[in-house]
Amino acid sequence: MTSMSRFLCIYILLILGMPCLAQQTKESKLQTTDYSSKVWTPLFEQLCDYDDIEERGIEDMFEQLCELEDAPIDLNTATEEDLQRLFFLSAKQREDLTEYLDRYRPLRSMGELALVESLDPLRKELTKSFCYISEATEKRPFPTLKQIAKYGKNELVAAMQVPLYEREGDRNGYLGYKYKHWFRYSFKYGDYVKAGLTGAQDAGEPFFSNCNRWGYDHYAYYVLVRKLGRFKSIALGQYKLRLGLGLAMNTGFTLGKTAAATMSIPTNAIAANSSRSEAYYLQGAAATIGITKHLDATAFVSYRKTDATLNDDGTVKTLLRTGYHRTQSEIERRHNTSQLATGGNINWQAHGIRIGATAFYTTFDRELKPNEKQVYQKYAPRGKAFCNASLYYAYTHHRFAFSGETAINGEAALATLNTITFQACSNLQLTAIQRYYSYRYHSLFSAAFSDGGRIQNENGVYVAASWQPHKKLALTAYTDYAYHAWPRYRVSAASHSWDNMLQTRYQPNHKWTLTARYRLRLSQQDYKKSDNAKALLADKNEHRARLSAAYQSGAWSTKTQIDAAYTSVAPPHSEPTESKGWMIAQTAAMRLGIFTLAANAGYFHTDDYQSRLYAYERSTLYNFTFPVFFGEGMRGAVLLRADITPNLTVIGKAGTTKYFDRNHISSSLQQIDKSHKTDIDLQVKWKF
């Protein structure tokens, strides 16, 4: 690609945003006044750095926010358990909001949120997106079956992705056609009753044939009941469960490092599983019951089939979570292992103090026997039966919040996680997180704060600050050091990492948001001079920076974003290898009557995968698109949404990626023998 061509690409990207900017002198009268996802999506994006959150965590977070948007919380009747669902609030903010509601209910307007001192403007707006105020002043009784049947709301969503290209596996290898599609039906009555069924099919999987004689490759089904007498929650079918801070049990999401500076996930929660993913859920029944005003108990049982790679003797080599069943070998690994889990939790809380204990037992019908020749697998779960137990604790005061959990497994290995948050003043919050995860500790259901993504083999300290020196300016920073005592994947010795981030957000007015972010990560990885040489630890330095300018006025919005990455790997006594890259992206959206049009385009140029870059892309409902880019190329997408009636929505999206540095994309059965790929997404949502 010539320098002139590159210049033209960049120039086109920049002028794409000009029509939106030209409207800043006029306020459109077409902007809706409700707090819809058009509002909370960019607000929530400001709190998170998606780079350090697992994809399933991002999907889970957005799933819960979409559910909250559909069934918002009534602040005049909300319980503490209801407010726990506002996970974008810190523990201190949630406690202050609870205290204000207990003292001053009934609220007359959402403007009263301004009187909750610890709530910053960003979280006030987010809270407005998922809460409302009714005239009710007392807790409503559980509805009758007649009321549920008469006033319950149904929603059906169907979606399909059509690739305008052919993969190698589509020609020879995959047993199904190349289209990806899914449906999702849900029934809701407020936040009291929720039931649903989801069917999902990945591209290449057989449909109504082979192993899928019932149609879709994966089904998710659930019934969730809340506030039924003493029962706070009852779940049947597939569900997600979080107990404590997640060291022993958490099949839901965790926060990334940027979000951990200002957010706090709830300690105990039962949620329905409507995800299209075949991993990270339980199947059976779970319930939480209030024994007394301050004491409640949770019990659960789960039995499900899971995918696994087997050894020659029939034992399990690896538990799989991809959910792909496209080829004969993938189908042979489908649901070949059974898992049973059962346990419970008891929780007491009063006067800002919370204490709880969790214990559960897990067994498989096959023995887990990972490959011991791989040193990093030496302390992976091994055997047929496993048990875990934990104790968690929390205390919240006027300016101070402390929470922690200490867990143990059947081999008496320890894991502990402790968090302290201090509200130094109304505009400064300090957070410190200490964790110690023994390399011998393991839980098959753990998910919590970590650097390596696993609750094992990590000892570290995280310190963060969130400061708003002026109402228009907000600063967030963190530093995190972690030590790994045992070898890890692609790291054949003890190692350490140091992660640092600084972000500033400036809002000169309610229309403009300017953001700058810099991240420096120092880590270690294996390096070999040749295939037969001994692996040596090399120091790896990653620099990542982002600048963005977002503008929103009435029905128009636009955002320009520039990303840069520089990575160097320095082996002992050798010259470092370097990789660098950059990307510029432009997004724009407008709303005109029943139509919403959104478009984005970006140009990226990186040396290789080491300097890869990420960019959020607006997508269809219940989809979160955050593609990774490396090499040289362009990405563009256009989305059109039509709200034909209040109950019928149709969405179409076309996205294409063009590479300038290759003549094929991907490899093996996923290989596309072209330098570009285009996908069409179609979706219909019907409420009845």
- The answer to whether 347 and 245 are in contact (CB under 8 A) is no
- CATH number for the domain including 572? 2.40.160
pLDDT value, residue 11 = 38
What is the pLDDT confidence band of residue 331, given thresholds at 50, 70 and 90?
Answer: very high
Q: What is the pLDDT of residues 516-545, one digit of tens each?
A: 999 999 999 998 877 778 888 999 999 999
250 in a domain, yes or no?
Answer: no
Average pLDDT over every residue of 570-578: 87
pTM: 0.89
- The answer to whether 601 and 569 are in contact (CB under 8 A) is no
Considering the domain architecture, whether residues 543 and 619 belong to the same structural domain is answered as yes
CA atoms within 13 A on the CB side of 493: 11
Q: Cα–Cα distance between 14 and 359 in angstroms, integer?
A: 56
pLDDT value, residue 18 = 40
Q: What is the pLDDT of residues 428-442, one digit of tens each?
A: 999 999 999 999 999
Q: Cα–Cα distance between 87 and 263 in angstroms, integer?
A: 7
pLDDT at 168 over 80: yes
Q: What is the pLDDT of residues 258-270, one digit of tens each?
A: 888 777 777 788 9
Q: What is the pLDDT of residues 366-397, one digit of tens each?
A: 999 999 889 999 999 999 999 999 999 999 88
Q: Look at 47 and 193; give whichever has higher pLDDT.
A: 193
**Which residues does residue 513 pair with via DSSP β-bridges, in sequence order?**
550
123 CB contacts (<8 Å, ≥6 apart)? 88, 89, 93
**Which residues does residue 500 pair with via DSSP β-bridges, in sequence order?**
479, 520
CA distance readout (Å), 688 to 61, 70, 147: 26, 14, 16
What is the pLDDT confidence band of residue 139, given thresholds at 50, 70 and 90?
Answer: confident
- The answer to whether 401 and 395 are in contact (CB under 8 A) is yes
What is the pLDDT confidence band of residue 22, given thresholds at 50, 70 and 90?
Answer: very low
- The answer to whether 335 and 377 are in contact (CB under 8 A) is no
71 in a domain, yes or no?
Answer: yes
Q: Where are the beta strands (DSSP E) in 311-457?
A: 316-320, 337-350, 353-368, 383-396, 400-409, 414-425, 428-437
- The answer to whether 554 and 602 are in contact (CB under 8 A) is no
Considering the domain architecture, whether residues 539 and 613 belong to the same structural domain is answered as yes
- The answer to whether 628 and 657 are in contact (CB under 8 A) is no
Residue 251's closest CA among 232, 233, 230, 265? 265
**Cis preceding-peptide flag for 19 (omega within 30 of 0):** no
Considering the domain architecture, whether residues 557 and 600 belong to the same structural domain is answered as yes
Please say which residue of 115, 142, 169 terminates a domain. 142
Please say which residue of 100, 124, 142 terminates a domain. 142
Which residue range(s) make up the domain with 501? 1-30+471-688
Buried b (16+ CB within 10 A) or exposed e, 341-357: bbbbbebebeeeebebb
Considering the domain architecture, whether residues 655 and 576 belong to the same structural domain is answered as yes
Considering the domain architecture, whether residues 627 and 584 belong to the same structural domain is answered as yes
Instruction: Report the C-alpha dihedral over residues 54, 56, 58, 61, rounded to 10 degrees.
Output: -130
Residue 165's closest CA among 661, 662, 684, 658? 658
549 in a domain, yes or no?
Answer: yes
pLDDT value, residue 233 = 95
Considering the domain architecture, whether residues 18 and 44 belong to the same structural domain is answered as no
Considering the domain architecture, whether residues 83 and 10 belong to the same structural domain is answered as no
Considering the domain architecture, whether residues 115 and 25 belong to the same structural domain is answered as no
Query: Is residue 219 classed exposed, middle or buried when 0-12, 13-18 and 19+ CB atoms within 10 A define those classes?
Result: middle
Q: Cα–Cα distance between 658 and 677 in angstroms, integer?
A: 7
pLDDT value, residue 53 = 63
Average pLDDT over every residue of 312-340: 95
362 in a domain, yes or no?
Answer: no
* Three-class SS of 356-369: EEEEEEEEEEEEEC
Considering the domain architecture, whether residues 2 and 93 belong to the same structural domain is answered as no
> What does the chain come to in residues?
688
> Given the structure tokens 């994809």, which residue do they identify?
55
Considering the domain architecture, whether residues 59 and 25 belong to the same structural domain is answered as no
pLDDT value, residue 24 = 37
Using DSSP, state whether 56 is helix, strand or coil: helix
62 in a domain, yes or no?
Answer: yes
Q: Where are the beta strands (DSSP E) in 1-138?
A: 73-74, 131-132
Q: Look at 343 and 573; give whichever has higher pLDDT.
A: 343
339 in a domain, yes or no?
Answer: no
Strands 295-310 and 269-272: unpaired
Considering the domain architecture, whether residues 16 and 98 belong to the same structural domain is answered as no
Please say which residue of 127, 142, 157 terminates a domain. 142
Q: Cα–Cα distance between 580 and 566 in angstroms, integer?
A: 4
The two three-digit tokens of residue 675, written as one number? 């330098």
Considering the domain architecture, whether residues 14 and 44 belong to the same structural domain is answered as no
432 in a domain, yes or no?
Answer: no
Say which amino acid occupies 410.
G
Q: What is the pLDDT of residues 413-431, one digit of tens each?
A: 999 999 999 988 888 999 9
Q: What is the pLDDT of residues 230-257, one digit of tens each?
A: 999 999 999 999 999 999 999 988 888 8
Number of domains in the chain: 2
pLDDT value, residue 123 = 84
The whole-angstrom distance between residue 547's C-alpha and the CA centroid of its chain comes to: 23
pLDDT value, residue 2 = 52
| Mean pLDDT score of the chain | 89
350 in a domain, yes or no?
Answer: no
Instruction: Report the C-alpha dihedral over residues 515, 516, 517, 518, rounded to 10 degrees.
Output: 180
